[in-house]
Structure 1
Amino acid sequence: MRHLLTGILTSALVLINTLVCMIPLMVFALLKLLIPIAGFKVFCFEAVRSIAATWISLNILIFRYLTPTYWDIRGQQVLNRQESLLVISNHQTWVDIPALMVAIHGKAPFFTFFLKRELIWVPLLGLAWWALEYPFMRRHSKTQLEKNPQLRGQDLDITRKACDRLNGRPVSLVNYLEGTRFTSAKHQQQQSPYQYLLKPKSGGVAFTLNAMNNQLVHYLDITLVYFDEQPPTFWNLLSGKVKRVIIDIQKQPIPKAMMKGDYQQDPVFRANFQAWINQLWQAKDQRITRLRQDFM
């Protein structure tokens, strides 16, 4: 009963916070759409980001005072809100996103996520993500790509346009290299060589680094580990059932050789980039093994 009441109260406050913040956010988003003056559009976009940042801050306070979750934040946390960062994290559950916000919100630039196009239909949040100019990526099956090879370039075009808009703006560019949430079934299907991770996809990161024109100099390697054997659901978090989350943060320089190169056309650069990502992923898998020992 206690968990049910906690979940209802936490959900209600998060919903109220969302509704209250959504109204001014949508006003500025529509003004930005309707008044095509460059300086005014920048002002409206910054207003939207400021409102979204307030929404995140209030949600963090709600979780802090209504739920017992201990956010065990470790590693290097000396961050600069004016320095753009590539954020790389493992992905297991919707709780990953609030964990990320608790760890670096207010310490690093505002987040930008690359989202699946289907998420634009999420009530309220889909509108907010659209207003924040988050790029919505299409996911095509192998069969679709074989029938329509021209579809292969769509995500790259979306990424290029998104990076063009972000150039000159401090941003934390979040990329989940696995491309989907980890499950045992997906892990077995992929025959992943990693114990706790799916195989990483490196092409999108390579293209993003290239398109950002050296604006990204460092990356945050974030590793999330949960107390329970199975990753918690978002309701578990809202209802106070998530006891502890380890959030390990490592700030590292992006190798200069990885910042520029033609991932699609240059096989040497592609092999080197994949080797770098695989090495990073192997180290993360080993880090998860060590961090999980703290729960034993």
Structure 2
Amino acid sequence: MHHLPAGLRIVLAAILIGSSTVLHVLPLFAVALFKALLPFRAVRVACNPLLTGIAESWIGFNSRMIDLFTQTRFVVDEGDVDLRRDGHYLVLANHQSWVDIPVLQKVFNRRIPLLRFFLKSQLFWIPLMGLAWWALDFPFMKRYTREQVERRPELAGRDIASTRRACEKFRSIPVSVMNFVEGTRFTVAKHAAQQSPHRHLLKPKSGGVAFVLDAMGEGLQAILDVTIVYPQGRPTMLDLFGDKVREVRLQVRERPIPREFVGGDYQGDAAFRERFQAWMSALWEEKDATIGRIASGAGPAV
């Protein structure tokens, strides 16, 4: 398929992926409705693997489309990471493009538990996909600005409570909680506006990671630290299916969860917050250096 004209290839890929989405979402809704109408633990335990299996099938089809329509080369350095499908992971990654999501799904699908992202509440209204994410227990977050909280003090802490409720659902099932620590995609303009101390990254936002460790720390076995690099520059989805992305490089490292950060009060304990931010900053400094080495072709060895 990669020999076809780019425009035709993009249209065909969109039609096939769209059709697959509809075909996967319909049974997903049916199982989710059954689970919602019979809110018993035994029903939930029986339905969760079915829902996950449908999602993994959809991801597998999308990944096959990338293989079919593009010649993109995926170079993955996993070191000595031992990935488990029944694991409980917090996955941290840098964020450059919407392409990051199918890349992560392609690399990890059926190798670790289904990646679940924290989503902005507005995304619930995306046709088909919003309800699919809801059915799969993806957490929807409504963020409040400082100005909103100042006008309505009762909003303070609601995002934290939402994080905690979402994480409680994950305690009893294998899970990979995905967090793009920068909170948004990297752009040169955002980098300049932040005056980021990192060359290739925006500043890390530590709060979301701290809240997950607070809510789930004892239930998580490790952190999967993922570094994504596009040597030819940050691509769009059209670039990907237009076969303009020659190579994607990823480094995956498994890191222990620091016990000192499990159950800490990030919101109320200033000393704890300072230590946690220092840890995240050190992690991000290392990731920035890793991106520089990979982008220059100096490493990692693969």
TM-score between both structures, scaled by the size of structure 2: 0.93
Which residue in the other structure is 2:159 paired with?
155
Distance 1:145 1:262 in 2: 20
Distance 1:79 1:45 in 2: 21
Distance 1:112 1:68 in 2: 28
Asked whether the equivalents of residues 3 and 241 of structure 1 are also in contact (C-alpha less than 8 Å), the reply is no
Residue-by-residue CA offset, 1:108-146 (whole Å, 9 max, x unaligned): 111111011111122221111011111111122222122
After superposing on structure 2, the runs of 4+ consecutive aligned residues of structure 1 that deviate more than 4 Å are none
For 1:157-176, what aligned pairs fall within 5 Å after superposition? 157-176=161-180
Which residue in the other structure is 2:95 paired with?
91
For 1:55-204, what aligned pairs fall within 5 Å after superposition? 55-76=58-79, 77-204=81-208
Q: Over aligned residues, Cα RMSD in angstroms?
A: 1.6
Residue-by-residue CA offset, 1:158-215 (whole Å, 9 max, x unaligned): 1111111111211111011111111111111111111111111111111111111411
Distance 1:31 1:100 in 2: 30
Q: State the AA in 2 paired with 1:133.
A: D
Establish whether residue 41 from structure 1 lines up as the match of residue 44 from structure 2: yes
For 1:3-22, what aligned pairs fall within 5 Å after superposition? 3-22=6-25
Distance 2:253 2:280 in 1: 15
Distance 1:172 1:251 in 2: 13
Asked whether the equivalents of residues 120 and 136 of structure 1 are also in contact (C-alpha less than 8 Å), the reply is yes
Which residue in the other structure is 1:271 paired with?
274
Distance 2:208 2:75 in 1: 30
Distance 1:101 1:294 in 2: 24
Residue-by-residue CA offset, 1:43-72 (whole Å, 9 max, x unaligned): 223211110011111111111122111111
User: Which of 48, 56, 68 matches 1:53?
Assistant: 56
Kindly, what percent of the aligned residue pairs are identical?
Answer: 43
Q: SS in structure 2 opposite 1:214?
A: helix
Asked whether the equivalents of residues 86 and 175 of structure 1 are also in contact (C-alpha less than 8 Å), the reply is yes
Asked whether the equivalents of residues 109 and 171 of structure 1 are also in contact (C-alpha less than 8 Å), the reply is yes
Q: SS in structure 1 opposite 2:177?
A: strand
1:32 CA displacement:
1.4
Which residue in the other structure is 2:286 paired with?
283
Which residue in the other structure is 1:232 paired with?
235
TM-score between both structures, scaled by the size of structure 1: 0.95
Moved more, 247-256 or 34-43: 34-43
Q: State the AA in 2 paired with 1:50.
A: G
Residue-by-residue CA offset, 1:271-293 (whole Å, 9 max, x unaligned): 11111100000100111110101
Unaligned runs of 5+ in 2: none
User: Which of 248, 261, 271 matches 1:258?
Assistant: 261
Unaligned runs of 5+ in 1: none
Distance 1:102 1:274 in 2: 31
Aligned residues: 295
Asked whether the equivalents of residues 72 and 245 of structure 1 are also in contact (C-alpha less than 8 Å), the reply is yes
Q: State the AA in 1 paired with 2:285.
A: Q
For 1:209-220, what aligned pairs fall within 5 Å after superposition? 209-220=213-224
Distance 2:115 2:78 in 1: 20
Which residue in the other structure is 1:249 paired with?
252
Distance 2:128 2:41 in 1: 27
Distance 1:249 1:152 in 2: 35
Distance 1:22 1:160 in 2: 27
1:14 CA displacement:
0.9
Distance 1:211 1:142 in 2: 24
